[in-house]
Amino acid sequence: MTQQPPPRALRWALRLHPAAYRTEHGAELTAIYAEATRDAGPLGRLREALDVAAHGLRQRTGLSSDRTAGRVLAQAAPLTVAVATASSVANVLWLLDPAVRDPHWSSSLPDVLLLADQGLVPLFWLAALTAVWAGRWSAARALVLPATVLRLADLPLLLLARFFHAAYAVAAVNVIVPLLTCALVLAAPRDLLGSSRPQRAAIAGTTALAAALWTVQLADIHYPLAGGPGIAPTLWVAVFAIALILSGRDRLPAAALAVALLPVALQKTVWVLNPLSPAGVGAVLVVLLSGAFTLVRARRHRGRVSPPSAA
């Protein structure tokens, strides 16, 4: 019997794998896919093909579960959900703060829609965090998608509500941050995600850390910290830099925390750069120096470890 050519969805999914990997494993992946989808409907076949595609993307980007980056991402995924949950709650509190709102705020349809939209996002993130805590990763990932879509949907509303004024860099960050957060959760290798028990202290600690940092920032609106505007957002950048410096091949929890903090650290760096302030310059320097330090250390470590034999 001759082998049937793979269906179109699977062909696309296989194309996402590196060529060498596809040559070596393509036939077996096709065989497993064919058997797994023998009695499946179109939706089942699509989901199976998407899973093969995700595997291909992880192989191509070095995020598969047999690589250090994949293992870091698996540890970072629950922490990312924790940070996103705290951030979404803080975002609503921030929008409801009278000191933040313009005089016309919440008097027009975009404003009302925006508030409704922002009110829903924390519910999805809280449900996702609960699912992560219970080890229900399929549910958690499914919940992250609507949370991201809703978060993205508020961008046109924010523009309509004239909330950003001229700070379009901040508007761009409002697109990048939810997408990056979603990608960090979805890109984690599924076979390393399961019970949250070994990471519960880390999840709780990260949630508390994010809540504390947001509380400082919210309090800064009414009780400005010494050091001028931009100091409170810079705290995120400082914590991110510390986590980055502490991270390493043998210290995956710190690396995972740095990855989880990355979206908000990026957001805050852009915030303090618009307009440019001493705090903003300091934040960028801290990020660049800690990143350079981490890169140099990783290269040194790689140099010390003898490369695998090519034979």
Partner 1 sequence: MPVVDIYSGMSDRPLQEPTLLLLTALADEPRHGYGLIQEIDAISRGRVRMRTGTLYGALDRLLGQGLIRVEREEVVDGRARKVYALAEAGRTALAAEAERLRAVVAEAERRLAARHTPAARTKGALA
Binding interface with partner 1 (CB under 8 A): 1-4, 13, 25, 27-36, 47-48, 51-56, 58, 64-66, 71, 74-75, 135, 189-195, 197-198, 250, 252
Q: How many CB atoms lie within 10 A of CB 212?
A: 13
Q: Are 246 and 261 in contact (CB under 8 A)?
A: no
Query: CB within 8 A of 20, min separation 6: which ones?
Result: none
Based on CB atoms, which residue is closest to partner 1, 30 or 85? 30
CB of 260 to partner 1, least distance (A): 15
Minimum distance from residue 178 beta carbon to partner 1 (Å): 25
Least Å from the CB of residue 254 to partner 1 = 13
How would DSSP label each residue in 209-231?
HHHHHHHHHHHHHHSPPTT-TTH
DSSP letter, residue 63: -
Least separation in angstroms between CB 27 and partner 1: 4
DSSP state letter for 195:
-
Spatial CA neighbour of 219 closest among 307, 115, 97: 97
For residue 273, CA distances in Å to 238, 261, 267 come to 15, 18, 10
Which residue lies nearer to partner 1 by CB, 56 or 122?
Answer: 56
- Residue 205: CB minimum distance to partner 1, A: 17
Give φ, ψ of 66 to 5 degrees: -90, 5
Nearer to partner 1, 66 or 102 (CB): 66
Beta bridge partners of 251: 248
CB of 181 to partner 1, least distance (A): 22
Nearer to partner 1, 55 or 268 (CB): 55
Nearer to partner 1, 160 or 252 (CB): 252
Residue 44: its H or E element: helix 42-61
Closer to partner 1 at the Cβ: 35 or 306?
A: 35
